[in-house]
Amino acid sequence: MAEFCMPSLGADMKEGILVKWKVEPGDQVKRGDIISEVETQKGIIEIEVFTDGTIEQILVHPGEKVPVGTVLATIRVPGEEAKAPREERPPEPTFKYKFCMISAQHKEGPAKRPPEPTPVTTAGKRLKISPSARKLAAELAVNLSTVQGTGQGNAITRADIERAAEAQNAAAPLAPVKPEAGMRQAIATAMARSNREIPHYYLATHIDMSNTMRWLASENKKRSIKERILPVVPLIKATALALGKVPELNGFWIDDRLQLQEAVHVGFAISLRQGGLVAPAIHHADLKSLPELMEALHDLITRTRGGRLRSSELTDATITVTCLGDLGVETVYGVIYPPQVALVGFGKIMEQPWAENGMLGIRPVLTTSLAADHRATDGHRGAQFLEALNQYLQKPEEL
Amino acid sequence: MNAKSPSSLSGAQVDREHAHHLLHQMLRIRRFEEKSAELYTLMKIRGFLHLCIGEEAVAVGVCEALEPEDGVVATYREHGNALARGISAGAIMAEMYGKQEGCSRGRGGSMHIFDDKTRFYGGNAIVGCGLPLAVGLALADKMQGRKRVTCCFFGDGAVAEGEFHESMNLAALWHLPVFFVCENNLYAMGTALERAQSVTDLVRKAASYNIASSAVDGMDVLTVEAAAKEAVNIVRREQEPYFLECRTYRFRAHSMFDPELYRSKAEVEKWKKRGPIVTLVKRLKKQGLLSDVELEQLEQQVAREIEEAVAFAENGTWEPVEDLTRFVYSERG
Amino acid sequence: MSKNEMIQITYREAVREAIREALRRDERVFLLGEDVGRYGGCFAVSKGLLEEFGPERIIDTPLSESGFTGAGIGAALGGMRPIVEIMTVNFSLLAADQIINNAATFLHMSGGCFNVPLVIRMSTGGGKQLAAQHSHSLEGWYAHIPGIKVLTPATLEDARGMLWSALEDPDPVLIFEHQSLLNMEGQLPANAGAVDIDRAQIRRPGSDLSVITYGASLFKALEAAEILAGEGIEVEVIDLRTLRPLDDATFLTSIASTHRALIVDEGWRSGGISAEICARIMEGAFYELDAPVERICGAEVPMPYAKHLEEAAMPQVEAIVTTAKRMVRSNG
């Protein structure tokens, strides 16, 4: 049994009115015969049949409007026995293609809900603050309710946040009873996040500093006291260069992936007199000569303690170096500053017995440690980094 | 100018095998188009579907005159041209199904059949826009010293477009080997030629550009073929354009969704009596060149081909959505 | 010729040299357009080329923009490398059917069968008192269309170097030469050659504000940057060079360090390329912004004839300076 259906004559045709039958049950039809007329929004169109056979039953009568795909009549094909008349007007059109099309249109999964916006409000009023300033305020833990905007329409800008952060820092010593405020709060947030989110691994090694110390001593002889290079400077430079060999340690873990950074901006941890610490960036540390690095470090420390850091210095660091040797610490077990993926810790350079080629001697030895994000790298790469660092420190003249 | 009135070769004797070939080609197109109509009502084919039933003699007669290295630019009513040119029925059907096995990977559909092997440059669905392309293809041939012909099909509607006149002028001015074939089926969609043109003799328009031109009965495949061969010879030999108007008629609506309010049933019936297939069949039988058995064999051969084409399209695959933005720019390397 | 030898050259001559080089290097290249031959080009760009290369390769066409642009597409399909010259972008609208419906679609519509290696050059822009049918900047509008590439050479180097790269491209490339740049004169290495056509360039580095522009507006932005530098404001000036595909990475990176963006576009504001750039900034650098993105665009009128009105209708240095100051300084 074949079915003669309301045809689809265009994507914009949804239904049609059967206007006229040119055949009746029992009539012979052949492919190409016009057997009915259908009225559409464009006018009356003659409808042909694509099957040879005998009209068995008419299911839709003139004047009835039915959707595309509805069976209009059944046709008995040659060789087929006449069957009992089927029920008129099936409850559902049996036109399978139509359902294919409809189901295809509704195939999309449930719409994803957009994340809830985090409103920045004060006393119920939405703050006028630039997106960049809002980001910086979060990083510096600046309390927005205290910030006076000076931008267009009194919007809060990055400069306003920087000023507010300085004010908070300056105010900190005057209010020692509130250690959780400002800086402390920022550190608390960052370190808690680090500990919560970053699977740390730690590696440490002893580095023979004889060559570096000897070279520094001879270099510094040529310099005035002001221009002298501190031992930390070759350490920073060697770190920056070693990152060239293991670049996976120089970057950020954002959006569940490692985002490598091309530039090496070494964040140098500086403790503040009023408590707390910051690790501002020494930009392009790998490209600076040792004297340039010394100057940059000096400038950075001065400005940090004076509360005059630039905002980019607070956010640009791609890795952190922390030196706690001055206080006698031997080994540092660092906590990574997110979203960075590594922290290099230097302890005190101590004279120690050192065996080499079967001989025992006394050498200045530095314990160097690496805290790294296991999501970004594995211990193997971390070890290669420490070895590269060691190699650079054996040839200080090339730094 | 050799602007002639429609000529006919209905008295001439014709080679049996060749006659069967021409009939076979026309039957392929006819049955392919009928199947397409059916598949459209079943929503297998979507978009616009323009059928060339009634116009088969033009596609077949003209393509017979072309060499494999020649180029073809066609319109959106181009299934017949594409089949006659040698693109497989399966590749065209799959294209209309939107499958990636289609000749345009399902990115073109019924109106945009393309094929590089047969130098078939569309499937152009902006009326008139193919003519400048044909001029340029011929220009490239001329500049590179190739004796190829570019055959450009267009309808009577295109004659009203500026691009028709610009292209006629450029082809004549630059002496380019373009074979302009006007498939004049008397209606641009629903607008009759006399309601669109102040001068309805299209040959005169071409002649006004100093282009050799003639008109033929587009319902007679032998006539079309003979005229096309003569024209192609002139184009190839003289490296000049030629304009051939084929007076034809489409038996079916402009597209599937068209109640044909603009013409009478009597007019359609009158033309159907002169249909290219019935005309040829009648003549061949009269001349003893075709038996009922042979006709039935041809029909069966065609039916098998169409069946296979549909199966090919049905079994075709959808291009992955990830590839959506491919073919916007060339993929290098 | 020494490697570092510099020559004095105008933008017009640079384009002509580029066409000449292309005609010499590749015999498939030819120039096609209205009055490119005997007349020497509407803007004298192709002057002398007819004598050098002959009428088979420097082809004067009738006034049939659609016809000869389509012929260019056909010739490209047929294995040639045509350079179609359309006098002005306004006239290109007569060929819009061929550019948009054919050149831009052919590769895709044919499922990869046919690419169209065509170059179309046209003049664009105002500043010459040519009024409302010869002065518009529709390059941003063409940049809306996938399938074509849109180049806007501003510098002599780009005027000289973009054409060859465009001819080497397998797909249709539109090159927009700003009318007011044709007489610009400067130094160019004698051996200057092809340049890339897919990257924006920072023409002046700066830390306070990113000015994103292209075409003739580049030089207004650079002039403004010089003035602003005198007042302590460091402007980074980005020359987009190519409007499609748009190199957004360059301006997004710049904004990440300046935190402010100003777009200077001679085209109209509504729905223009400036709106697109602004949208990309919102998508890619929202959290870097310290101030709303601003735009200086062509006024939304057909280009007037009178000098003072035409100037008022186009981005000018003063407006760039004023806007930049307001954006950078507080309490604006």
Question: For position C179, which CATH number holds?
Answer: 3.40.50.970
Distance of alpha carbon B196 from alpha carbon B206, whole angstroms: 17
**Is C65 part of the annotated catalytic residue set?**
yes
Number of domain units in chain C = 2
CB contact under 8 A, C290 and A152: no
In a domain, C1, yes or no: no
Chain C residues in contact with A159 (beta carbon < 8 A): 290, 330
* Shortest distance, CA C305 to any CA of chain B (angstroms): 30
CATH number of the domain within which C237 lies: 3.40.50.920
Find the domain containing C207 and state its range.
Answer: 201-328
Dihedral angle over CA of C218, C331, C285, C230, nearest 10: 30
Q: What is the mean pLDDT of chain A?
A: 82
Q: Judge whether B38 is closer than 8 Å to chain A, CB to CB.
A: yes
Residue in the block written with tokens 């009318």: C179
Distance of alpha carbon B109 from alpha carbon B45, whole angstroms: 9
Q: Is residue C140 domain-shared with residue C228, that is, in the same domain?
A: no
What tokens appear for A12 in the block?
């914009």
pLDDT(A164) > 60: yes
Distance of alpha carbon B216 from alpha carbon B225, whole angstroms: 10
Could you read off the pLDDT of A211-245 as tens digits, one per residue?
Answer: 999 998 888 888 887 788 888 999 999 999 999 99
Q: Judge whether B126 is closer than 8 Å to chain C, CB to CB.
A: yes
Q: Where are the alpha helices (DSSP H) in chain A?
A: 96-105, 131-140, 158-171, 182-197, 210-221, 232-245, 290-305, 311-315, 379-394
Q: A394-398, B128-132, C55-59, C313-317: which range is least confident on average?
A: A394-398
**DSSP line for A200-240:** EEEEEEEEE-HHHHHHHHHHHHTS-GGGPPPTHHHHHHHHH
- How sure is the predictor about A298, in pLDDT bands with cuts at 50, 70 and 90? confident
pLDDT at position B5: 44
Q: Is residue C59 domain-shared with residue C145, that is, in the same domain?
A: yes
Q: Please indicate whether residue B5 or residue A365 has the higher confidence score (pLDDT).
A: A365
Task: Compute the Cα dihedral for C104, C108, C112, C113 and give only its sign.
Answer: negative
In a domain, C194, yes or no: no
Q: A120, A129, A130: which to substitute to probe chain C, counting the most C Cβ within 10 Å?
A: A130
Q: Is residue C169 domain-shared with residue C225, that is, in the same domain?
A: no
* Closest residue, chain B, to A38 (C-alpha): B259
Q: Is residue C323 domain-shared with residue C273, that is, in the same domain?
A: yes
pLDDT at position A111: 42
CB contact under 8 A, B139 and C114: no
**Residues B217 and B7 sit within 8 Å (Cβ to Cβ):** yes
pLDDT(B261) > 60: yes
With both helix axes pointing from N to C terminus, report the angle between B16-41 and B276-286 in degrees, rounded to the nearest 10: 150
Omega within 30 of 0 (cis) for the link into A339: yes
**Residues A42 and A60 sit within 8 Å (Cβ to Cβ):** no
* Shortest distance, CA C239 to any CA of chain A (angstroms): 24
Q: Judge whether C326 is closer than 8 Å to chain A, CB to CB.
A: yes
CB contact under 8 A, B34 and A45: no
Q: Judge whether A133 is closer than 8 Å to chain C, CB to CB.
A: yes
What tokens appear for A81 in the block?
């026995």
* Shortest distance, CA B242 to any CA of chain A (angstroms): 38
Q: Is residue C125 domain-shared with residue C24, that is, in the same domain?
A: yes
CB contact under 8 A, C331 and A150: yes
Task: Compute the Cα dihedral for A293, A299, A305, A310 and give only its sign.
Answer: negative
Q: B111, B126, B139: which to substitute to probe chain C, counting the most C Cβ within 10 Å?
A: B139
Check residue B94 and report its DSSP letter: H
Sheet holding A342-356, edge to edge: A200-208, A359-373, A342-356, A319-323, A266-268, A281-282
* Closest residue, chain B, to A43 (C-alpha): B259
**Residues A249 and A372 sit within 8 Å (Cβ to Cβ):** yes
* Shortest distance, CA B255 to any CA of chain A (angstroms): 9
- How sure is the predictor about B273, in pLDDT bands with cuts at 50, 70 and 90? very high
Last residue of a domain, one of C189, C220, C250: C189
pLDDT at position A94: 40
Helices and strands in chain C: count of H runs, count of E runs? 12, 14
Omega within 30 of 0 (cis) for the link into C205: no
pLDDT(A119) > 60: no
**Is C134 part of the annotated catalytic residue set?**
yes
Q: What is the mean pLDDT of chain B?
A: 94
Among C13, C134, C177, C266, the one annotated catalytic: C134
How far the first Cα of chain B sits from its last, in Å, is 52
pLDDT at position A304: 80
Give me the domains of chain A, ranges plus CATH numbers. 2-105 (2.40.50.100), 124-184 (4.10.320.10), 199-398 (3.30.559.10)
**Residues A367 and A206 sit within 8 Å (Cβ to Cβ):** yes
The count of C-alpha atoms lying within 13 angstroms of the C-alpha of A225, restricted to the half-sphere facing its C-beta, is: 0
pLDDT at position A301: 84
> At C261, is the secondary structure helix, strand, or coil?
strand
**Residues B153 and B166 sit within 8 Å (Cβ to Cβ):** no
Chain B residues in contact with C64 (beta carbon < 8 A): 162, 166, 169-170
**DSSP line for B104-155:** TTTSS-TT---BTTTTEEEE--STTTHHHHHHHHHHHHHHTT----EEEEEE
Q: C254, C281, C290, C327: which to substitute to probe chain A, counting the most A Cβ within 10 Å?
A: C290
CB contact under 8 A, B43 and A43: no
Q: Is residue C151 domain-shared with residue C34, that is, in the same domain?
A: yes
Q: Is residue C124 domain-shared with residue C239, that is, in the same domain?
A: no
Q: A3, A8, A47, A100: which to substitute to probe chain B, counting the most B Cβ within 10 Å?
A: A8
**Residue extents of the structural domains in chain B:** 16-306
In a domain, C307, yes or no: yes
* Shortest distance, CA B162 to any CA of chain C (angstroms): 8
CB contact under 8 A, B124 and C102: yes
Interface A-C, measured as beta-carbon pairs within 8 A, has a size of: 38
Of A152, A154, A158, the residue nearest A127 (C-alpha): A154
Strand-strand pairing, C185-189 and B187-188: unpaired
Q: Judge whether C270 is closer than 8 Å to chain A, CB to CB.
A: no
Last residue of a domain, one of C147, C167, C189: C189
Of C89, C86, C106, the residue nearest C148 (C-alpha): C106
* Closest residue, chain C, to B168 (C-alpha): C67
| B16-306 topology per CATH | Rossmann fold (3.40.50)
* Shortest distance, CA C210 to any CA of chain A (angstroms): 15
**Residues A253 and A318 sit within 8 Å (Cβ to Cβ):** no
Q: Is residue C31 domain-shared with residue C138, that is, in the same domain?
A: yes
Of C176, C125, C118, the residue nearest C148 (C-alpha): C118
Of A133, A190, A185, A130, the residue nearest A163 (C-alpha): A133
Q: C202 forms bridges with which residues in the sheet?
A: C238
Could you read off the pLDDT of C278-300 as tens digits, one per residue?
Answer: 999 999 999 999 999 999 999 99
Q: A121-135, B18-32, B114-128: which range is least confident on average?
A: A121-135
pLDDT at position A107: 36
Mean pLDDT, range B264-291, rounded to an integer: 96
In a domain, C69, yes or no: yes
> At A157, is the secondary structure helix, strand, or coil?
coil
pLDDT at position A276: 77
- How sure is the predictor about B215, in pLDDT bands with cuts at 50, 70 and 90? very high
**Residues C87 and C33 sit within 8 Å (Cβ to Cβ):** yes
User: Angle at the Cα of B142 (from B140 to B143), degrees rounded to 5?
Assistant: 65
Q: Is the pTM of this model over 0.80?
A: no
**Amino acid at site B104:** S
Of A12, A45, A101, the CB nearest to B43: A101
Chain B residues in contact with A13 (beta carbon < 8 A): 257
- How sure is the predictor about A85, in pLDDT bands with cuts at 50, 70 and 90? low
Cβ count within 10 A of residue A64: 14
Distance of alpha carbon A254 from alpha carbon A317, whole angstroms: 14
Interface B-C, measured as beta-carbon pairs within 8 A, has a size of: 152
Last residue of a domain, one of C189, C223, C248: C189
> At C38, is the secondary structure helix, strand, or coil?
coil
Q: Please indicate whether residue B133 or residue B255 has the higher confidence score (pLDDT).
A: B133
* Shortest distance, CA B31 to any CA of chain A (angstroms): 11
The residues, any chain, with a CB within 8 Å of residue A359's CB and separated by 6 or more, are none
Among C34, C65, C85, C310, the one annotated catalytic: C65
Q: Is residue C181 domain-shared with residue C218, that is, in the same domain?
A: no
With both helix axes pointing from N to C terminus, report the angle between A158-171 and A182-197 in degrees, rounded to the nearest 10: 110
Chains that touch B (3 or more CB pairs under 8 A): A, C
Q: Could you give the ipTM of this predicted complex?
A: 0.90
Q: Judge whether B268 is closer than 8 Å to chain A, CB to CB.
A: no
**Under-70 pLDDT residues of chain C:** 1-3, 330-332
Chain B residues in contact with C67 (beta carbon < 8 A): 131-132, 135, 162-163, 166-167, 169-170
Distance of alpha carbon B29 from alpha carbon B31, whole angstroms: 6
In a domain, C196, yes or no: no
